[in-house]
C-alpha cells in the first residue's frame, strides 16, 4: 500500500491564547505548561521514533487553535489542498500552512469557493481511498472540491451525527485496518465507510472514541508503528491496542489538548516526499 509511509511532518506551536480562546466542547482548564511539554514530547516522537523531518511553525497568538494544523490542509502524495476551515476563527491558520507546504515543493491548490468548508480532521486517507465526514465543519461542497483535487482516489462522504470530526473517533491502524470507537455513531460511520467502499476493511473497536485516534505509519526498518494515547488517558482502549501483534506501540500523552477537542492526528500534517515527489 503506497499511502501510509511518511517522510516529513508539519507542526505548529501552542499560543498562550489556546487556554482561553480555543474552540471547545468542555470547560476543563488547560495547563499551558503541560500542554507545551506534551507537544514537545510528541514532536520528539515524530523526529526520533518515526524518523520524520519536522517543520515547526511558530504559534500565532491571534489564532488560538493554530496547533491543530491537520485542519488547515490535506496532503496526499505531492498535492496539498489548503482548506477553508469550517470555523471562521480558524480561517487565518491556512496562511502559514500554505507557505510551509510551498517550501516543501508540494503542488498547492486552495479552496477558495465561499460556499465550501472543509477541516482536515474530517478526512481519512486509507492508502487506497479517501473518506470525508460531513460534519459541523465540513460541507458537501468542501467534499466535492476534495474529490476534484484528489482525482486519483475515490472520495466518499460519511454523514456525521455526532463528534467534532470524522477522525475524532476513528483512524487508520494499519494497511486495511481502521481503529474505531465503540459509540453508536462511530460504529455507524464505519459501516457507512465499508458499505461505500469496494475494499474490505478490518475493524478494531476500542471502548473510547478519542482512544481510536492514533497515528499509523509503516516505518522503514521497523514495520508497523502506532502512536496512541497512553494508558492514563484511556486505559481500556490502551488494553485493546496493546494486543496488536508485530507492532511497535508508542504511547504519548495528549491530556491537555483533549480538553480543547484535539487528538493525536490533529497536531501534525504528515507528508510523503520520497516516494511521491
Q: Is 262 an interacting residue with respect to ligand CIR (CB under 6 A)?
A: yes
Q: Strand 130-134 vs strand 123-125: parallel, antiparallel, or unpaired?
A: antiparallel
Give the chain's length.
Answer: 277
Which x/- pattern over 1-40 shows residues binding ligand CIR (rule: CB under 6 A)?
---------------------xxx----------------
Cα separation, 70 vs 97, in Å, equals: 10
- Secondary structure of 220-243 in HEC code, one letter for each residue: CCCEEEEEEECCCCCHHHHHHHCC
CB of 8 or CB of 90, closer to ligand CIR:
90
Pick the binder of ligand CIR from 190, 261, 264, 272 (CB under 6 A).
261
Which x/- pattern over 226-255 shows residues binding ligand CIR (rule: CB under 6 A)?
------------------------------
CB of 38 or CB of 71, closer to ligand CIR:
71
Asked whether the CA dihedral 26, 29, 34, 39 is positive or negative, the reply is positive
Residue 272 contacts residue 250 (beta carbons within 8 Å): no
Q: Is 260 exposed, middle or buried (0-12, 13-18, 19+ CB in 10 A)?
A: buried
Among 66, 76, 170, 266, the active-site one is: 266
Among 8, 39, 165, 228, the active-site one is: 165
- How many other CB atoms sit within 10 Å of the CB of residue 162? 15
User: Of 55-63, 105-113, 143-151, 258-266, which part binds ligand CIR (CB under 6 A)?
Assistant: 258-266
Which x/- pattern over 173-212 shows residues binding ligand CIR (rule: CB under 6 A)?
----------------------------------------
Instruction: Examine the residue annotation and report whether 214 is marked as an active-site residue of this protein.
Output: no
Cα separation, 170 vs 179, in Å, equals: 5
The footprint of ligand CIR on residues 55-84 (CB under 6 A) is 65, 68, 70-71
Contacts of 79 (CB under 8 A, 6+ apart): 106, 107, 109, 149, 150
Instruction: Examine the residue annotation and report whether 165 is marked as an active-site residue of this protein.
Output: yes
Binding site for ligand CIR (CB under 6 A): 22-24, 65, 68, 70-71, 87, 90, 121, 164-165, 168, 260-263, 266
- By annotation, the residues acting in catalysis are 165, 266
Amino acid at each position: 500500500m503506497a499511502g501510509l509511509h511518511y517522510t516529513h511532518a508539519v507542526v505548529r506551536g501552542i499560543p498562550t491564547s489556546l487556554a482561553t480562546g480555543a474552540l471547545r466542547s468542555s470547560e476543563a482548564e488547560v495547563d499551558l505548561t503541560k500542554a507545551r511539554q506534551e507537544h514537545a514530547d510528541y514532536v520528539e516522537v515524530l523526529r526520533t521514533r518515526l524518523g520524520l523531518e519536522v517543520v515547526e511553525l511558530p504559534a500565532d497568538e491571534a489564532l488560538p487553535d493554530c496547533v491543530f494544523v491537520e485542519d488547515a490542509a490535506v496532503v496526499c502524495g505531492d498535492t496539498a489542498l489548503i482548506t477553508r476551515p469550517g470555523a471562521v476563527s480558524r480561517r487565518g491558520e491556512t496562511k502559514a500552512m500554505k507557505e510551509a507546504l510551498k517550501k516543501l515543493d508540494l503542488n498547492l491548490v486552495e479552496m477558495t469557493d465561499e460556499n465550501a468548508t472543509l477541516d482536515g480532521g474530517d478526512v481519512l486517507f486509507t492508502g487506497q481511498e479517501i473518506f470525508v465526514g460531513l460534519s459541523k465543519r465540513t460541507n458537501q461542497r468542501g467534499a466535492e472540491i476534495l474529490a476534484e483535487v484528489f482525482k486519483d482516489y475515490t472520495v466518499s462522504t460519511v454523514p456525521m451525527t455526532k463528534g467534532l470530526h470524522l477522525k475524532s473517533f476513528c483512524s487508520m491502524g494499519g494497511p486495511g485496518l481502521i481503529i474505531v470507537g465503540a459509540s453508536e455513531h462511530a460504529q455507524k460511520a464505519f459501516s457507512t465507510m465499508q458499505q461505500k467502499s469496494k475494499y474490505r476493511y478490518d475493524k478494531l473497536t476500542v471502548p473510547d472514541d478519542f482512544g481510536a485516534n492514533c497515528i499509523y505509519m509503516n516505518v522503514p526498518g521497523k514495520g508497523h508503528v502506532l502512536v496512541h494515547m497512553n494508558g492514563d488517558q484511556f486505559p481500556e482502549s490502551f488494553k485493546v491496542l496493546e494486543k496488536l501483534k508485530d507492532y511497535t506501540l508508542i504511547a504519548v500523552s495528549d491530556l491537555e489538548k483533549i480538553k480543547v477537542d484535539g487528538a493525536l492526528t490533529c497536531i501534525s500534517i504528515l507528508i510523503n516526499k520520497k516516494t511521491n515527489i
